[in-house]
Structure 1
Amino acid sequence: MRHPAMLAAAFLCLAAPALAEGDAVAGKSVFRKCAPCHSTEPVNRVGPTLAGIVGRPVASIADYGYSAAMTSFADGGRIWNEALIAEYLMSPKAMVPGTRMTFAGLKKIEDIANLIAYLKAPARH
């Protein structure tokens, strides 16, 4: 079995051009997998709002109760940039052991790129 960190590194090397070229319209369809727990409006659900996630500090929504694992992951001032979001979406539990997020992750690089493109400007799509 491959090590998750190695897979993430390989993904990031391969996905860099795709992340810049994601299709936000297709990303809206991918977001349906996220919508049961997350919103692109400034409203928390089971999970925190994803409105403005790209460029936002990790675990920074004031009125959301993050898990200890996610709060610890945020230590040091991590920012949800495209690369970090992409790595997280591959396997949330591998990246943040102990997270309450039950989503297994997205396996297709194209889906991740499209979802990130959508999250950058959901109101336009």
Structure 2
Amino acid sequence: MMLGKRLLLVTCLLGSSGLAHAEGDATKGKTLFSRCAACHATGSQNKVGPGLAGIIGRPAASAPGFRYSKAMTGSGLTWTEEQLDTYLAGPAKAVPGTTMAVAVPNAQDRSDIIAFLKTLNAQ
């Protein structure tokens, strides 16, 4: 019986991707986001980059009034937590031709930033 419970726990932790994802800390993510704030607002207003309110579940290149690169417009992405993680790890690798040049190489930092982004409601 104990083996069955362990197997269930491992299955839940791994999820459908087969990889365990660290749970992000939104408070730490808010602090880490300060390096993103030069280009991105936490509301719907656009800066050098698009506003990030409501980013989770939003199709890429869909912030009103923002001029996206052709690469991002043609990407067909939807910003899920997993897709944001991949993109933040290497924007140019995830979307060749994107204008975003800043990557977040640390997996826990990405997880924390994404946890913070999840708190931003569409405005």
TM-score of the superposed pair, with normalisation by structure 2: 0.79
Structure (1/2) with the larger helix percentage: 1
Unaligned runs of 5+ in 2: 1-16
Correspondences of 1:62-81 after superposition (within 5 Å): 62-74=64-76, 78-81=77-80
Query: 1:23 touches 1:117 (CA, 8 Å); kept in 2?
Result: yes
> Between the two proteins, what is the percent identity of the paired residues?
46
Q: Highest CA radius of gyration, 1 or 2?
A: 2
Shift of 1:44: 0.2
TM-score of the superposed pair, with normalisation by structure 1: 0.78
Q: Which one has more relative contact order, counting CA pairs under 8 Å at least 6 apart?
A: 1
Cα RMSD after superposing both structures: 1.6
- Which whole-Å CA distance do the structure 2 matches of 1:71 and 1:111 have between them? 26
Structure 1 runs of 4+ aligned residues shifted over 4 Å read none
- Which whole-Å CA distance do the structure 2 matches of 1:64 and 1:109 have between them? 28
Shift of 1:41: 1.0
Shift of 1:62: 2.3
Match of 2:32?
A: 30
Unaligned runs of 5+ in 1: 1-11
Query: 1:55 touches 1:80 (CA, 8 Å); kept in 2?
Result: yes
Size of the aligned set, in residue pairs, is: 105
- Which whole-Å CA distance do the structure 2 matches of 1:99 and 1:56 have between them? 17
